[in-house]
Structure 1
Amino acid sequence: MTTPIKRINRRTPGWAKATGAVVLVLAVFFAGIRLSVLPGLKDLFGTETRDRSGPALLQSIQDMSRYDAASGNFQIVVDLEKDARFLPDAVRGTRTLYVGAGTVDAYVDLGKVGEDDVTVDEDRTTATLRLPHAVLGRPALDPDRSYAVSKQRGLLDRLGDLFSDNPNGEQAVQKLAVRHIGDAAKKSGLTARAEKNTTDMLRGLLRSLGFEEVKVTYGR
């Protein structure tokens, strides 16, 4: 008699499936690194960028009455590190070196000057003006001159980047760069320079209109 053959179904343990999935993810990750460093393969698997943005919409128009009298250019190297408790940096954590370049303007708001702030003598040879103090505008980060020097990430952070898109990945260092640039502008003497330039501009303008003496003060 022929002995029937029994079929044995061997199920793969759950831990083996999980391990296989992790190995597959790591293989894809390191394969992507190799493709980026091997010459020729990068062009073969390259991507094409297309701008599908719609037209810009005008939301509002505002009349400007301020006189931009001075502008400062600043640069800051931001070193931002984020650590995880009880985990080494190689596993979880990031450190980013970012060069932020931007400008800060100093201006005098001439729209706040009233009729009582401008006096002219009877001979129209002397004019006295009282203006508000110059103030600083918001720091503006220049994207063409700002860039990330290096970014170190732990293994878990690298794996997380594979499964999620983070368009604001550098938002934290950019905000920090803007804050440092703003603090530096407060100590730079830009407002004093703006008041001097505004005084020179008004004196030149009024003297061309026939005034012999022009007095400009600040303090409103």
Structure 2
Amino acid sequence: MPSAHRERRRVTWWVALPAALALMAVVLGLLLLVAWLRLLPDALDPFGTRTEDRTGPALLESIQDMSRYEAASGNFQVVVDLDKDAKFLPDAVRGSRTLFVGAGTVGAHVDLGGLGEDAVTVTEDRKSATVTLPRARLGRAALDADRSYAVAKERGLLDRLGDVFSDNPNDEREVHRLAVRHIEEAARESDLTDRAERNTRTMLENLIRSLGYERITVRFAPPSG
């Protein structure tokens, strides 16, 4: 008699197992649906993700004394269209195209650290002064991460398969380099250095005039070489 009771319990357990699994599947499906529809708050969402910044402290590598006057800055934007094609394969099989909006700034400065004793001359009555400065120069373009973004990325079949096995950050670096290059070209074609020289001249004229000089001449030496 006890053995028959144990047999009934085993039969009941095996019968209930599919029902329990089906119930678990239904509950899991409901949770997935609720999470997908974002009906649960983040604190109660079992499938929600949490972002945590584990970056270590920044390290100070070097300190440099600045001896130049940052006289002007320009904001630029360029749309980089990088298209890579295979010679003997169609784009759908091998090839890529990336549209990237690059936004950045370029500064123009006048170097004041290398001025010699003959850069400033004054008259005996200390009423006139002449200052000779080097020409303004452009700095490197600095991309703004908040305003730069990829618009579209198209990949051939082989390229998409390759992305599965490697992150391939070279494409991003390449469009960034192209954006920097085009922004610097636009800065060279602009009047940024002319404006920097005008601003430097105005700054020095006001500064020297405050020292009691009445006639101030600020000129820029022609570029060497």
- TM-score by length of structure 1 reads 0.78
**SS of alignment partner, residue 172 of structure 1:** helix
How many matched pairs? 183
Unaligned runs of 5+ in 2: 1-31, 39-44
Which amino acid in the other structure matches residue 185 of structure 2? D
Percent of aligned positions with the same letter in both sequences?
Answer: 69
Give the structure 1 partner of residue 150 of structure 2. Answer: 148
Matches within 5 A, 1:1-220: 39-40=36-37, 47-219=49-221
**Stretches of 4+ aligned residues off by more than 4 angstroms:** 43-47
Alpha-carbon distance in 2 for matches of 1:101, 1:44: 39
> Following TM superposition, by how much is the alpha carbon of 1:48 offset from its aligned partner in structure 2, in angstroms?
3.4
Which amino acid in the other structure matches residue 99 of structure 1? V
> Following TM superposition, by how much is the alpha carbon of 1:166 offset from its aligned partner in structure 2, in angstroms?
3.0
> Following TM superposition, by how much is the alpha carbon of 1:145 offset from its aligned partner in structure 2, in angstroms?
0.5
**SS of alignment partner, residue 74 of structure 1:** strand
Deviations 1:39-60 (A, max 9, x none): 449x875543332221111111
Alpha-carbon distance in 2 for matches of 1:160, 1:44: 33
Unaligned runs of 5+ in 1: 1-34
**SS of alignment partner, residue 58 of structure 1:** coil
> Following TM superposition, by how much is the alpha carbon of 1:209 offset from its aligned partner in structure 2, in angstroms?
1.2
**SS of alignment partner, residue 178 of structure 1:** helix
> Following TM superposition, by how much is the alpha carbon of 1:136 offset from its aligned partner in structure 2, in angstroms?
0.4
> Following TM superposition, by how much is the alpha carbon of 1:204 offset from its aligned partner in structure 2, in angstroms?
0.6
> Following TM superposition, by how much is the alpha carbon of 1:160 offset from its aligned partner in structure 2, in angstroms?
1.3
Alpha-carbon distance in 2 for matches of 1:117, 1:55: 44
> Following TM superposition, by how much is the alpha carbon of 1:168 offset from its aligned partner in structure 2, in angstroms?
4.2
**SS of alignment partner, residue 157 of structure 1:** helix
**SS of alignment partner, residue 161 of structure 1:** helix
Deviations 1:16-46 (A, max 9, x none): xxxxxxxxxxxxxxxxxxx9xx9449x8755
- TM-score by length of structure 2 reads 0.76
Alpha-carbon distance in 1 for matches of 2:166, 2:210: 63
**SS of alignment partner, residue 113 of structure 2:** helix
